[in-house]
Amino acid sequence: MKEIFVRLDRCVGCHTCEIACAVEHSQSKDLFRAISEHPVPRRRLFVEWVAPGQKIPVLCRHCTDAPCMHACISGAIRRTPEGVVLTDTDKCIGCWTCVMVCPYGVIGRHPEMQRAYRCDRCPDREVPACVASCPTRALVYRTVEEFSAGVRQTAAAEMLAGERG
Amino acid sequence: MASRRYVIIGGSAAGLAAAQAVRELDRDGSILVLSAEPDPPYYRPMIPFIVTGQKTAEGIGMMGQGPYTARGIEVRQNARVTAVDPRARAVTVNDQESVPYDRLLIATGSRPYIPPTIQGVDTPGVYAPRTLADARSMAQRVSNARRAVLAGGGMVNLKFAFALLERGVSVTMVVTSPEILSQVMEMDAAALIREALERAGLEILTGRNIVQILSGPGGVEGVLLDTGEEIPCQIVCIGKGVRPNVEFLSTSGILVDGGVMADGDTACFFGQEKERLPEVFTAGDVAVTFDPITGQRMMTALWTNAVEMGRCAGRNMAGWPTIYTGTFGILNATQVAGVPFVSMGIVHTAGTPYETHVVRTANTYRKLVFSEDGKRLIGAVFVGDIHHAGLYRYLIRERVPLDGLKAAAIRHQLHYGHLLRIK
Please indicate whether, in this complex, the C-beta atoms of B416 and A73 are within 8 angstroms of each other.
no
pLDDT at A130 over 60: yes
What is the per-residue pLDDT for B422?
A: 46
Closest-CA residue to B261 (of B397, B106, B83) = B106
Give the mean pLDDT per block of 10 residues along chain B (423 residues).
91 98 97 98 97 96 96 97 98 97 98 97 97 97 96 95 96 95 93 93 96 96 97 98 97 97 97 95 97 90 96 98 93 94 96 95 96 96 96 94 91 91 51
CATH code of the domain occupying B346-422: 3.30.390
When CB atoms are compared, the residue of A54, A71, A96 closest to B334 is A96
Query: What digits encode the pLDDT tens for the residues B214-251?
Result: 999 999 999 999 999 999 999 999 999 999 999 999 99
Report the C-alpha gap between B313 and B19 in whole angstroms: 9
**pLDDT the model gives residue B1:** 59
End-to-end CA gap in chain A: 39
Q: Could you give the percent of chain A with pLDDT greater than 90?
A: 89
Determine the residue among A45, A60, A68, A73 to mutate to test chain B binding: the one whose Cβ has the most chain B Cβ atoms within 10 Å.
A73
CB contact under 8 A, A103 and B391: yes
Residues 72-91 (A) with a CB less than 8 A from some CB of B? 72-79, 91
Each domain of chain B, given as residue ranges in start order, spans: 5-111+243-317, 126-240, 346-422
| Whole-number Cα distances in Å, A48 to A7, A8, A45, B15, B417 | 14, 11, 9, 40, 7
Same CATH fold assignment for domains B5-111+243-317 and B126-240? yes
In CATH, B5-111+243-317 is 3.50.50.60: yes
Angle between helix B303-317 and B13-25 (nearest 10) = 30
Residue B61: DSSP 8-state: B
What is the dihedral angle through the alpha carbons of B393, B11, B298, B329, rounded to the nearest 10 degrees?
30
Instruction: Determine the CATH number of domain B126-240.
Output: 3.50.50.60
Taking CA atoms, what residue in A is nearest to B60? A74
Q: Which of A91, A93, A101 sits opposite B390 (nearest CB)?
A: A101
Task: Give span(s): CATH 3.30.70.20, chain A.
Answer: 62-105
CATH of A62-105, one of 3.30.70.20, 3.90.230.10, 3.40.50.300, 3.40.640.10: 3.30.70.20
Q: Which of B176, B206, B203 is nearest to B115 (CA)?
A: B176
Whether residue A144 lies within 8 A of chain B, CB to CB, comes out as no
ipTM over 0.90: yes
Helix, strand or coil, per DSSP, at residue A1: coil
Which residues of chain A have a CB within 8 Å of the CB of B62?
Answer: 75
Global pTM value = 0.94
Question: Residue B83 and residue B108: Cα distance in Å, rounded?
Answer: 12
Contacts of B61 in chain A (CB under 8 A): 75
Summarised one tens digit per residue, pLDDT across range B319-369 is 999 999 998 889 999 999 999 999 999 999 999 999 999 999 999 999 999
CA gap A96, A101 in Å, rounded = 9
Residues whose CB is less than 8 angstroms from the CB of residue B323 and which lie 6 or more positions away in sequence, other chains included: B264, B265, B312
Share of chain B above pLDDT 90, in %: 96
Q: Do B333 and A77 touch (CB under 8 A)?
A: no
Confidence of residue A10 (pLDDT cuts 50, 70, 90): very high
Q: Using CA atoms, how far apart are residues B121 and B210, in angstroms rounded to an integer?
A: 11
Distance in Å, alpha carbon of A164 to nearest chain B alpha carbon: 32
Closest chain B CA to residue A51: B418
- Which residues sit opposite A142 in a β-bridge? A3
